[in-house]
Chain A
């Protein structure tokens, strides 16, 4: 059974800092991995999707990497801003029905 773990559970940083969020998964036979952002009480916004054949994806100040063999992904946020404060969720898709298995998320607070 696929399990996804995100470390740390919470992170507080000053504005402008570069930071890394970690995600690990137990079954390396994945189809893709998605990073999402969730603001309090809101739905999920897809940030980046990495196919299993890819090593990384970039969007603006965000860069996500994937090491399928070791079961790890990182989300790098450059020059963090207060507006980046949210919970970041990692999810992997493994099966033919393309079910996503989610981690519990990392709650990020960027202080002005």
Chain B
């Protein structure tokens, strides 16, 4: 496996279900992201895990709960979703400079985000 993978690719769930989306990156990156893409709207950043710390967008409802057990895996736990939550959920990863070590060094791919294929979620 290479790049960023996401499972499942398609998910249909009822409003009372609990499900989880999984993302895995094979790029050795240290930051991972969840985005939501709804029809006719720009991509919206939902959550960021950067250098093992979580940075979240305060406008994300609590029915979305992220989990990042290590730098290679990211989950999005879903419960009691609404039909308007139907969208394409995209995961991405990037490389950020470490907190200690060689400060100031920038490579061509630093901060460049690599995206997975997405999970198409439909809430019925």
Contacts and interface: CB of A to CB of B under 8 A. Distances in A.
Contact of A42 (B4, B48, B113, B117): B117
A100 B96 contact: no
Interface residues of B, number: 28
B47 to A, nearest CB: 11
B45 interface: yes
A32 B41 contact: no
A4 B42 contact: yes
A3 to B, nearest CB: 9
Q: How large is the interface on A (under 10, 10 to 19, 20 to 34, 35 or more residues)?
A: 20 to 34
A78 interface: no
Interface string B9-45: 0000000000000000000000100000000111101
Contacts of B109: 49
A89 B112 contact: no
A103 B44 CA distance: 10
A48 to B, nearest CB: 10
Nearest to A39: B117
B41 A104 contact: yes
Please report whether the interface of chain A is mostly helix, strand, loop or mixed according to DSSP: strand
A108 B33 CA distance: 27
A75 B69 CA distance: 38
Interface string A44-60: 11100101000000000
A46 B112 contact: yes
A85 interface: no
Contact of B114 (A4, A46, A99, A101): A46
Given A31-B111, A32-B111, A93-B111, A42 B45 contact: no
Contact of A89 (B4, B31, B43): B43
Contact of A43 (B45, B48, B55, B118): B118
B76 interface: no
Interface of B: 4, 6, 31, 40-43, 45, 48, 50, 55, 88, 90, 92, 94, 96, 106, 108-109, 111-118, 120
A-B interface, 6 closest residue pairs, ranked by CB to CB distance from nearest:
A44-B115, A43-B117, A102-B43, A43-B115, A102-B42, A43-B118
